[in-house]
Amino acid sequence: MNDSIKLLPDHVANQIAAGEVVQRPASVVKELLENAIDAESTSMTLIVKDSGKTLIQVIDDGKGMTTTDARMAFERHATSKISSAEDLFDLHTKGFRGEALASIAAVSHVELKTKRAEEETGTKILIEGSEVKAQNPCVSPSGTSIGVKNLFYNIPARRNFLKSDQVEQRHIIDEFQRVALAHPDVAFKLIHNGNELFQLPKNNARQRIVGIMGKKINENLVPLQEETDLIKISGFVTKPSYAKRSRGEQFFFVNNRFIKNSYLHHAIIQAFEGLLKPKTHPSYFIYLDIDPKSIDINIHPTKTEIKFEDEYGIYAILRSAVKHSLGQFNVSPVLDFDRDKSLDTDYRTEKSNAKLPKVEVDRNFNPFQDQPKSRKATSQFQHQNQYSTWETLYSGLTEDIENSEDFQFESKIQPDQLFDDTEHQQHTFQLMRKYIVSSSSSGLILVNQHRAHERILYEQFLSQITQEAGHSQQLMFPLSLELSSDEVDLLESLSESLELTGFMFDFSKSEDGVVNINGIPSMLIESQIYEVIDELIADFKAGIPDSGFDRNNRLSMIMAKNMAIANGKSLKTEEQQDIINALFSCKEPSVSPTNQPVFVHMDENAIDKIFRT
- CATH number for the domain spanning 522: value is 3.30.1370.100
pLDDT at position 292: 84
Model confidence at 264, pLDDT cuts 50, 70, 90, reads very high
Residue 104's H or E segment, with its range, is helix 100-106
pLDDT at position 374: 47
Nearest to 47 by CA among 196, 236, 210, 152: 196
In sequence order, the 6+-apart residues with CB closer than 8 A to the CB of 368 are none
d(CA 212, CA 199): 9
Q: Is the pLDDT of residue 48 over 60?
A: yes
CATH number of 57's domain: 3.30.565.10
CATH number of 279's domain: 3.30.230.10
Residue 72's H or E segment, with its range, is helix 67-72
DSSP letter (8 states) at residue 241: G
Between 97 and 163, where is the model more confident? Answer: 163
Torsion over CA: 359, 365, 370, 373 (sign): negative
Residues 298 and 170 grouped into a single domain: no
In a domain, 399, yes or no: no
pLDDT at position 407: 46
Q: DSSP characters for 565-576?
A: PPTT----HHHH
Nearest to 178 by CA among 296, 37, 19, 20: 37
Give the range among 101-110, 440-449, 467-476 with minimum mean pLDDT: 467-476
pLDDT at position 175: 92
User: CA distances (Å), 555 to each of 42, 140, 253, 461, 466, in order?
Assistant: 42, 49, 34, 9, 12
Q: Is the pLDDT of residue 214 over 50?
A: yes
Q: Could you read off the pLDDT of 373-400 as tens digits, one per residue?
A: 544 444 444 444 444 554 554 555 555 5
* Cβ atoms of residues 59 and 197 within 8 Å: no
pLDDT at position 95: 61
Residues 129 and 63 grouped into a single domain: yes
In a domain, 516, yes or no: yes
d(CA 485, CA 10): 43
d(CA 26, CA 188): 16
Q: Is the pLDDT of residue 124 over 90?
A: yes
Residues 436 and 533 grouped into a single domain: yes
Model confidence at 482, pLDDT cuts 50, 70, 90, reads confident
Q: Is the pLDDT of residue 185 over 70?
A: yes
Mean pLDDT of all residues in 32-53: 92
Q: How do beta strands 284-289 and 250-254 pair?
A: parallel
Residues 170 and 241 grouped into a single domain: no
Strand order, beta sheet including 257-259: 221-227, 232-238, 284-289, 250-254, 257-259
In a domain, 24, yes or no: yes
What are residue 257's DSSP bridge partners?
Answer: 254
Q: Residue 227 is part of which domain span?
A: 214-328
* Cβ atoms of residues 170 and 542 within 8 Å: yes
Local structure of 230: helix, strand or coil: coil
Dihedrals phi, psi of 554, to nearest 5 degrees: -70, -40
Q: At what angle do helices 311-328 and 262-271 cross, to 10 degrees?
A: 30
In a domain, 133, yes or no: yes
Q: Could you read off the pLDDT of 405-424 as tens digits, one per residue?
A: 554 444 443 433 333 344 44
Nearest to 540 by CA among 530, 529, 528, 553: 553
> Would the pTM count as exceeding 0.75?
no
Percent of the chain with pLDDT over 90: 31
Dihedrals phi, psi of 515, to nearest 5 degrees: -120, 130
Residues 279 and 225 grouped into a single domain: yes
Residues 454 and 591 grouped into a single domain: yes
d(CA 225, CA 321): 7
Q: Is the pLDDT of residue 149 over 90?
A: yes
Mean pLDDT of all residues in 176-180: 94
pLDDT at position 410: 43
Integer Rg of the chain from CA? 36
pLDDT at position 16: 66
Between 120 and 542, where is the model more confident? Answer: 120
Residues 319 and 463 grouped into a single domain: no
State which amino acid sits at residue 343.
L
Q: Could you read off the pLDDT of 272-286 as tens digits, one per residue?
A: 988 888 878 899 999
Mean pLDDT of all residues in 299-314: 79
Local structure of 441: helix, strand or coil: coil
Residues 553 and 578 grouped into a single domain: yes
Give the range among 9-13, 199-203, 355-359, 608-612 with minimum mean pLDDT: 9-13
In sequence order, the 6+-apart residues with CB closer than 8 A to the CB of 254 are 288, 290, 295, 297, 306
* Cβ atoms of residues 24 and 35 within 8 Å: no
d(CA 601, CA 606): 9
Residues 501 and 578 grouped into a single domain: yes
What are residue 128's DSSP bridge partners?
Answer: 109, 131
Model confidence at 448, pLDDT cuts 50, 70, 90, reads very high
Q: Is the pLDDT of residue 342 over 60?
A: no
Residues 185 and 224 grouped into a single domain: no
User: CA distances (Å), 573 to each of 178, 358, 389, 428, 441, in order?
Assistant: 53, 56, 42, 7, 19
Q: Could you read off the pLDDT of 574-606 as tens digits, one per residue?
A: 999 999 999 989 999 999 999 999 999 888 888
In a domain, 148, yes or no: yes
Alpha helix stretches (DSSP H) within 150-304:
156-160, 165-182, 205-213, 262-271
Q: DSSP characters for 106-129?
A: HTSEEEEEEE-TT-SSEEEEEEET
Q: Domain boundary residue among 175, 200, 225? A: 200
In a domain, 276, yes or no: yes
- The mean predicted confidence, pLDDT, of the chain is 80
Nearest to 563 by CA among 460, 438, 445: 460
Alpha helix stretches (DSSP H) within 8-54:
10-21, 25-38
Q: Domain boundary residue among 328, 345, 372? A: 328
Q: Domain boundary residue among 328, 348, 364? A: 328
Residues 188 and 304 grouped into a single domain: no
DSSP letter (8 states) at residue 249: S
* Cβ atoms of residues 90 and 292 within 8 Å: yes
* Cβ atoms of residues 517 and 481 within 8 Å: yes
Percent of the chain with pLDDT over 70: 77
In a domain, 1, yes or no: no
* Cβ atoms of residues 32 and 146 within 8 Å: yes
Q: Is the pLDDT of residue 467 over 50?
A: yes
In a domain, 522, yes or no: yes
pLDDT at position 397: 52
Give the range among 188-192, 501-505, 572-576 with minimum mean pLDDT: 501-505
Model confidence at 116, pLDDT cuts 50, 70, 90, reads very high
> How many distinct structural domains can be found in the chain?
3
Residues 236 and 194 grouped into a single domain: no
Residue 417: count other Cβ atoms within 10 Å of its Cβ: 8
